[in-house]
């Protein structure tokens, strides 16, 4: 019986850990962008999310050692407009990349709401990889879920090393399998 409790209890804890990992707050989207491209991104006002907006730009250099990217970020009512200019130089070069890839990120504090991002200008590359991410406590939630997965695995493995069998044997059985022959001696 202890063996079955460890097996099923460990499996239940592993499933609970997986559910917690899937419930981690995460808001991320990525695009391939060219000048004039427009994108929409929502900053959530929910538990676990912060009002921090991260913009990540990656670009392949095309015979240029400097890549300039200008973005315009505005909320849906255009009351908050942010101009972002990124200069990707050799400082932003991704190590061991062939052809050279430049990457830079910028974090902005913005109030919750829907934002439009317009790529105004790209110099030194035809297109960029543009990613938006809202900061959250997802790492903490994922660490808790992963810890539960490890605990569940340890419990299930411990059940393997417990003495006895998975199904009760002999007198411990609750239900006997098969059938009982009829007793005809009362005739």
Range of the domain at 74: 26-136
Q: Does any domain span residue 33?
A: yes
0.75 cut: is pTM over it?
no
Cα 3 versus chain centre, distance? 34
Do 126 and 158 belong together in one domain?
no
**149 in the same domain as 84:** no
**Dist. CA 21–CA 29, nearest whole Å:** 19
Whether 10 contacts 159, CB under 8 Å: yes
Is 42 in the same domain as 69? yes
**% of the chain at pLDDT higher than 70:** 86
Task: Determine the pLDDT at residue 58.
Answer: 92
172 within domain boundaries: no
Q: How many domains does the chain have?
A: 2
> What's the average model confidence in pLDDT over 19-24?
92
Q: Please check whether residues 36 and 123 belong to one and the same domain.
A: yes
Q: What is the mean pLDDT of the chain?
A: 85
Q: What integer pLDDT is reported at residue 165 of this predicted model? A: 66
102 and 159 co-located in one domain: no
- Is 175 part of a structural domain of the chain? no
């Amino acid at each position: 019986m202890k063996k079955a409790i460890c097996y099923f209890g460990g499996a239940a804890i592993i499933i609970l850990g997986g559910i917690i990992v899937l419930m981690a707050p995460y808001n991320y989207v990525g695009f391939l962008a060219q000048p004039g491209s427009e994108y929409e991104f929502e900053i959530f006002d929910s538990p676990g999310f912060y009002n921090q907006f991260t913009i990540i730009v990656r670009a392949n250099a095309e015979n240029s050692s400097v890549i300039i990217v200008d973005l315009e970020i505005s909320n849906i009512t255009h009351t908050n407009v942010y101009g972002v200019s990124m200069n990707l130089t050799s400082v932003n070069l991704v190590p061991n990349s062939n052809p050279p890839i430049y990457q830079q990120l910028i974090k902005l504090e913005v109030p919750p709401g829907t934002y439009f991002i317009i790529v105004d200008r790209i110099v030194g590359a035809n297109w960029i990889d543009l990613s938006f991410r809202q900061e959250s406590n997802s790492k903490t939630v994922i660490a808790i879920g992963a810890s539960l997965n490890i605990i569940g695995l340890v419990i299930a493995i411990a059940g393997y090393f417990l003495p006895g069998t998975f199904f009760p044997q002999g007198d411990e059985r609750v239900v006997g399998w098969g059938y009982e022959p009829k007793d005809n001696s009362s005739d």
